[in-house]
């Protein structure tokens, strides 16, 4: 009996989480297609195939819904930050480990949900300056700061040569991400195969190490 109740509650929670995700996906689609102003909670409910009451149970208003969508993507940046620190802390093959990290970096950023969110947020940055700033701090800036801290440690071990770790981290980031990210902002996300993204990562690392690697 107890087990049955628990199972029902777990199913209930999981159904609730599914509905929440469906609402966020529907809202992302509509915000992207029609802009923030051009999207109503009624349309979100219809596309998510839930009642309007259910939408408001999960999100107090449209602004809250938009904010939660944006901040949800920054969680993925947090995971990559841990990856950076873990991968570079004790590396004894910098070229190999940095190359693998660069591939994970480009593949984690240049994919539909992240790119769509970026386009949406850039378009609404004038209406939501604080949210845009928060996203910028918690996603790209946090990642670059983690890279900078790791690069400084590697310079201390004599594995990199650099004066300005933050600048080096920005060079690393945009050697790898600059072109596909910029393209995706204007053209959507259909531009690159996984093999092409990995090639961009490999070539970015090659240029980075030519400038910052041990001679």
Q: Which residues bind a copy of itself (CB under 8 A)?
A: 32-38, 118-127, 129, 132-133, 135-136, 140, 164, 167, 170-171, 173-175, 177-179, 181-183, 185-188, 203-204, 206-208, 210-212
Least distance in angstroms from the C-beta of 74 to a copy of itself: 12
**Closer residue to a copy of itself, CB minimum distance, 50 or 73:** 73
Please write down the HEC assignment for all residues of 38-86: CCCHHHHHHHHCCCHHHHHHHCCCHHHHHHHHHHHHHHHHHHHHHHHHH
Q: Which is nearer to a copy of itself, 104 or 119 (CB)?
A: 119
DSSP secondary structure letter of residue 14: H
Q: How far is the CB of 85 from a copy of itself (least distance, A)?
A: 21
Residue 116 CB, nearest approach to a copy of itself (Å): 9
Q: Which is nearer to a copy of itself, 5 or 195 (CB)?
A: 195
For the stretch 13-22, contacts whose Cβ atoms lie closer than 8 Å and that sit 24 or more positions apart, written own/partner, are: 19/48, 19/50, 19/54, 19/58, 20/58, 22/48, 22/49, 22/50
Judge whether 35 and 122 are in contact, CB under 8 Å: no
Q: How many Å apart are CA 32 and CA 16, to the nearest integer?
A: 24
Tally Cβ neighbours within 10 Å of residue 74. Answer: 17
Whether 115 contacts 184, CB under 8 Å: yes
Q: Is 13 or 95 the residue whose CB approaches a copy of itself more closely?
A: 95
Look at the chain and count its residues.
215
Q: Is the dihedral of CA 72, 73, 79, 85 positive or negative?
A: negative
Please, which residue, 50 or 169, has the CB nearer to a copy of itself?
169
For a copy of itself, the closer of residues 50 and 65 by Cβ is: 65
What does the block give as tokens for 194? 């996984």
Minimum CB distance to a copy of itself, residue 184 (Å): 10
CB of 17 to a copy of itself, least distance (A): 27
Rounded (5°) CA angle 99-86-135 = 85
Q: Shortest approach of a copy of itself to residue 156 CB, angstroms?
A: 21
């Amino acid at each position: 009996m107890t087990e049955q109740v628990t199972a029902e509650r777990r199913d209930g929670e999981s159904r609730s989480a599914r509905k929440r995700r469906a609402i966020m996906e529907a809202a992302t689609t509509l915000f992207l297609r029609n802009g923030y102003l051009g999207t109503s909670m009624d349309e979100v409910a219809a596309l998510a195939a839930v009642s309007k009451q259910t939408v408001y149970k999960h999100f107090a208003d449209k602004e809250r819904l938009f904010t939660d969508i944006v901040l949800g993507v920054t969680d993925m940046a947090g995971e990559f930050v841990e990856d950076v620190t873990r991968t570079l802390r004790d590396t004894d093959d910098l070229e190999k480990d940095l190359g693998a990290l660069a591939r994970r970096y480009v593949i984690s950023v240049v994919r539909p949900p992240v790119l769509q969110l970026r386009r949406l947020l850039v378009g609404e940055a004038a209406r939501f300056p604080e949210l845009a700033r928060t996203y910028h701090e918690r996603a790209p800036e946090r990642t670059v700061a983690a890279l900078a801290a790791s690069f400084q440690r590697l310079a201390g071990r004599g594995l990199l040569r650099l004066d300005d770790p933050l600048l080096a981290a920005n060079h690393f980031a945009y050697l790898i991400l600059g072109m596909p990210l910029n393209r995706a902002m204007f053209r959507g996300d259909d531009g690159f195969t996984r093999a092409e993204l990995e090639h961009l990562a490999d070539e970015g690392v090659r240029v980075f190490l030519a400038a910052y690697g041990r001679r």
